[in-house]
Every structure is written in C-alpha cells, then in structure tokens.
Amino acid sequence: MIYFIGAGPGDPELITVKGKRLIDEADIIIYAGSLVNPQVLSGARPEEVLDVMKRGVAAGKKVVRVHTGDPSIYGAHREQMVELEKMGIPYEIVPGVSSFLAAAASLKREYTLPGVSQTVIL
C-alpha cells in the first residue's frame, strides 16, 4: 500500500494526526526535499520514486509519499497514481491542511461571512 500524505502548509504542527502516524510508521518515505519542511520528516531516511514504491510494496514495506499542502488540491501525483493502478498497487490519499486554510487562520479571517457569502471557489 502506498500512502499519499498531505504535509500541510509547512508548519510541522499542522499535519494531520493520521499523516504524522503514517510517516512515523513508514519504512520508506518519498518527498520533494525542496518543498516539504524538513521538521515534518525529522528522523526520516532519504529515498527515491515509482521504482522505490514498487520495490517497497513488493518487500511488504509501508511506503508514504509526502506532499505539501493537500495532495488532492496542490499535488502533482496523478501520474504516479495512474502508474500504480497499472501495476495493481493499492494506494490511499491522506488529506492535509491546505495552505488556503492556514493563510486564513494566520490572518484571523473567514472565507464565508453571514449575509455576504457562504461560498468558497477554489
């Protein structure tokens, strides 16, 4: 099983409990070092991508692919999912705290206001 994990907007405390648990339990962690805050991955061993995923799953290892933000919005993992499906390798997407939500929180703002708008378009 491959887990695509949203690491949140960069603050290591803004990753979901599930995402952090999976990273802590992972045998193999794949991530873009230039994008993911290194504190989120403290103690992680560096690795590589699709071949590493395939070898890891074949060896019975827990493999995680960490993305910044939420992989369903800001990730570029569709190509990897297509290849995993071709290889018959199951995967799960674990959402993260999206940066648009973290930005609103840091500014102490809401995107919807009573009598103004109850719609957010991304």
pLDDT of residue 101: 85
pLDDT of residue 42: 67
CA distances from 46 to 26, 68, 101, 121 (A): 12, 17, 29, 37
Is residue 90 over pLDDT 90? yes
Task: Quote the CA–CA distance of 40 and 83 in Å, as a whole number.
Answer: 27
What number is the average pLDDT over the span 90-116? Answer: 89
Q: What length does the chain have?
A: 122
H helix intervals, 1-122:
17-25, 50-58, 78-87, 99-106
For 7-114, where are the E strands, in sequence order?
A: 28-31, 63-67, 91-94
3 within 8 A of 22, measured Cβ to Cβ: yes
Task: Give 28's strand partners.
Answer: 63
pLDDT of residue 96: 85
